[in-house]
Amino acid sequence: MAIGRVSRHFSSISWFGTGDRFLLPIVGALITIILVIVFSFGPSSLATHTSGDAVLAGKVTEILGSKTAAFDSLSVMVVDSDGTAVHAGFGTQADGRPITPATRFEIGSVAKGLTGMLLASLEDRELIDSSAAFGANAGSPSGPLLADLATHHAGLPRNSPSAWRAARVSLSWLLDRQPRNDTSADIVRDVVSAWTRDARFSYSNLGFAGLGVSLAKSQGVAFEALLRSEVLEPLKMTDTELLSVGDPVPSDHAIGLGLNYRPAQPWVSEPWQGAGIGVWSTAQDLTTLMKAIRNGTAPGIRATTGLRDANERQRIGYGWFVGSIEDQSVVWNGGQTAGYRSFVALSQTTGRIVVVLSNSYRAPVDDLALSLLTGTVVGGTSKLSLVLFYGVAIVMLWTPVRRLRGALRGKSSRFAEVRATTEMFTTIAVAYLIINWRLVDSTILYLSVVIGGAALGASATILSKWSQLPTSIAKRPRLDAITSLGSGAAALFILILLLV
C-alpha cells in the first residue's frame, strides 16, 4: 500500500506520466550540453604564435600545457644577464596586426610600482616626505603616512569602504564594465575614513589611489603629468600611457577578455591612476623599466628595496614585492584588470628579466613568468580550486536528488520548490561565474554540465504540477514564505548579472 501511495504521488508530479518521469531531466541535460557547445566561452585556446622567437614560443607552450586553454593573446619578453633579449607574440591586436613588443595592454597594479618609484624619486629630491601624513597634501587634517600607503600597511580595505561603491566595483568585474567614477575628493574621504592604524600588511588599491592623489596635489599638477616627468620620460618609456575619460584606446592594443572571455571595457578613472586604472604599456617599455631596476639607474630605485614584511617569504617596498622564489631573490609585480593580466619580474640572483602581458582576465601569467624566470615550472592547480570545484559539483548533484526524494515522499510544497529551484540555479550560476571551466578536465566539465542540465530538467518536471502542490508544509509558513522570497530575489539578481 505504501509503495502504491508513493507511486501515485510521483505520477501526480510527473509531466509525462509515470513511465516518462525521467524524460525531462534527460532532455534538460542534452539541451544544456548543446548550449555549452554553441555558446562556448570565447576563443578556444592560446592564439597562434604570430611573431618573434619560435624557441621561446615553444617553451611558453610547453610550460603552460593544458593551461593554454585559459589564454588568448600573449606578449612575452625574456632578457638574460648578458643582454640577450627574445620576444614571442601570440595572437593579434585590435587592428588585426600580430602581437609585437610594442603592442599595448592594460597593466593594472604593475603601475603601483611606478607610483612607488614616483614617491621615492620625489623624496630623493626632497620634494616630499614619506613620513608625512596623507592629509597634509590632500586637504585633510589626518590620515595614514605616505610610506604606509606605499607599503600596504595603512590598514585600508582593498577598495572603497562604501558598501555600495565596493559592490559596484565587484559588479564591474562580473559584467566586464567600467568600474569607477569616483572623484579625488571621494578618494581622500575614503582613505581618511577607512584608516585603522593597523600596522599589518593589507593589500589596498584604495591606498595607492590615495597615494597618487596626494603626490599630485603636493606638486600642484595632474598625476599623469607628474609620473611622466619624474619616471616615464627619464626611462624613455614612450609607449606607456595613462588614459583619461574620453581618451581613445590606442589602436595598437590587444582586446581585453573578461571573466567569461567576453570583450571587456577598458578601465579609465583619473583619481585611480596611482593604483593602475587606465594605465597601458608594452612588453618593450616594461623591459626598459626592469633593465633600469637591474642596473640601478631607475628613478626612485629605492622603491624596489624590501622595507616591510608582506608575508613569511615576501617583503614589500614602495609598490614592489621582493622575496625568495625557487631559491632566487626576485623583485616582482603583477596586475589584473577586467580584461588583462600582467607580470614583471627580475631575478637578482641570475639577472634574468621576464615580462608577460595577457589579454585574458583569467590567464595565470604569474606561474608562466616565474617558470620562465627560474627555469623551474611553478604553480599548478591549487587545493582551494579543487575543493571549490568538487564542492560545487556535490551541491549540484545533491540538490536534484534531494528534491526528487522529497517529492517521492510527499514532502514537496510550493515554497520548498521555490527555495530548491533558486538554490540550484544560484549554484549553477556561481559556478559559471567563478570557476575557470577552461582549466577543468573535459570529462569532469561535461559531467558537471549533465548534472546541471538534469537538475534543471528535474525542476521543470516537478514545477509542471505547481497547481497540485500545497503552498507550505512547514510548521512556520510565514518564515517559509520569507526564505522562499529571499531565495528568489538572490536568483533574480544573479540572472541579471548573467544576462546584462
Q: State the SS3 of 224-280.
A: HHHHHHHHHHHHCCCCCEECCCCCCCCCCECCCECCCCCECCCCCCHHHHHHCCCEE
Phi then psi for residue 105, to 5 deg, are: -135, 150
Q: Quick one: pLDDT band at residue 404, thresholds 50, 70, 90?
A: low
Tell me what pLDDT residue 483 has: 75
Angle, alpha carbons 166-151-324 (nearest 5°): 110
Task: From 357, 316, 256, 226, select the one nearest 42 (Cα to Cα).
Answer: 256
Is the pLDDT at 394 greater than 70? The verdict is: no
At residue 431, the 3 state secondary structure works out as helix
What's the predicted TM-score (pTM) here? 0.78
CA-nearest of 202, 188, 113, 221 to 156 is 202
Beta strand segments in 85-143, E: 85-90, 104-106
Helix axes 54-64, 365-374, angle to 10 degrees: 120
pLDDT over threshold 80, residue 228: yes
Tally the residues of the chain. Answer: 500
- C-alpha R_g of the chain: 27
**Cβ atoms of 345 and 332 closer than 8 Å:** yes
Q: Are 367 and 343 in contact (CB under 8 A)?
A: no
Which of 46-50, 201-205, 457-461 reaches the highest mean pLDDT? 201-205
List the single range of 40-54, 327-341, 366-380, 442-456 with lowest mean pLDDT: 442-456
Partners of 198 in beta bridges: none
Comparing CA positions, the residue from 472, 468, 478, 485 lying closest to residue 413 is 472
* Signed CA dihedral, 213, 217, 220, 226: sign only: negative
Q: According to the model, what pLDDT value does residue 58 have?
A: 93
Cα(459)–Cα(365) distance, rounded to whole angstroms?
A: 40
More confidently predicted of 279 and 483:
279
What pLDDT, on a 0 to 100 scale, did the predictor assign at position 470? 78
Give residue for cell 508513493.
Answer: 6
Q: Please tell me the distance from the alpha carbon of residue 79 to that of residue 282, in angstroms, as a whole number.
A: 15
Most distant CA pair in the chain, distance: 92
Contact between 321 and 343 (Cβ < 8 Å): no
Nearest residue to 24 (alpha-carbon basis) of 320, 354, 463, 444:
463
pLDDT reading at 271 higher than 70: yes
| CA–CA distance, 170 with 447 (Å, rounded to integer) | 30
> Which superfamily, per CATH, for 104-374?
DD-peptidase/beta-lactamase superfamily (3.40.710.10)
Angle at the Cα of 50 from the Cα atoms of 45 and 54, rounded to 5 degrees? 100
Q: How confident is the model at residue 117 (pLDDT cuts 50, 70, 90)?
A: very high
Selected residue with higher pLDDT from 77 and 191: 77
User: Does residue 15 or residue 149 have the better pLDDT?
Assistant: 149
Cβ atoms of residues 111 and 335 within 8 Å: yes
Number of Cβ within 10 Å of residue 455's Cβ equals 28
Q: Which residue has the higher pLDDT, 357 or 266?
A: 357
Map out the domains of the chain as residue ranges. Answer: 2-39+382-499, 104-374
Residue range 97-103: mean pLDDT, rounded: 95
For the beta sheet containing 241-242, the strands, ordered from the edge strand earlier in sequence to the opposite edge, are: 104-106, 279-282, 241-242
For residue 280, the cross-strand partners are 106, 241
Find cell 550540453 and name the residue. Answer: 33
Q: Give the DSSP H/E element, type plus range, for residue 22.
A: none
Q: What is the mean pLDDT of residues 41-57?
A: 76
Q: Which cell goes with 477? A: 509558513
Handedness of CA 121, 124, 127, 128 (dihedral sign): positive
Residue 148: band (very low, low, confident or very high) from pLDDT cuts 50, 70, 90: very high
> CA 308, CA 32: separation in Å to the nearest integer?
51
Is a pLDDT exceeding 50 seen at residue 442?
Answer: yes
The yes-or-no verdict on residue 417 having pLDDT over 90 is no
Place of cell 600642484: 220
CA distance 112 to 277: 10
Percentage of the residues of the chain whose pLDDT score is greater than 90: 42
Which amino acid does the sequence have at 93? Q
d(CA 370, CA 293): 18
Alpha carbons 213 and 15: distance in angstroms, whole number: 63
259 within 8 A of 174, measured Cβ to Cβ? yes
Dump strand ranges (E) for 91-207: 104-106
Average pLDDT for 65-93? 91
Higher pLDDT, 154 or 19: 154
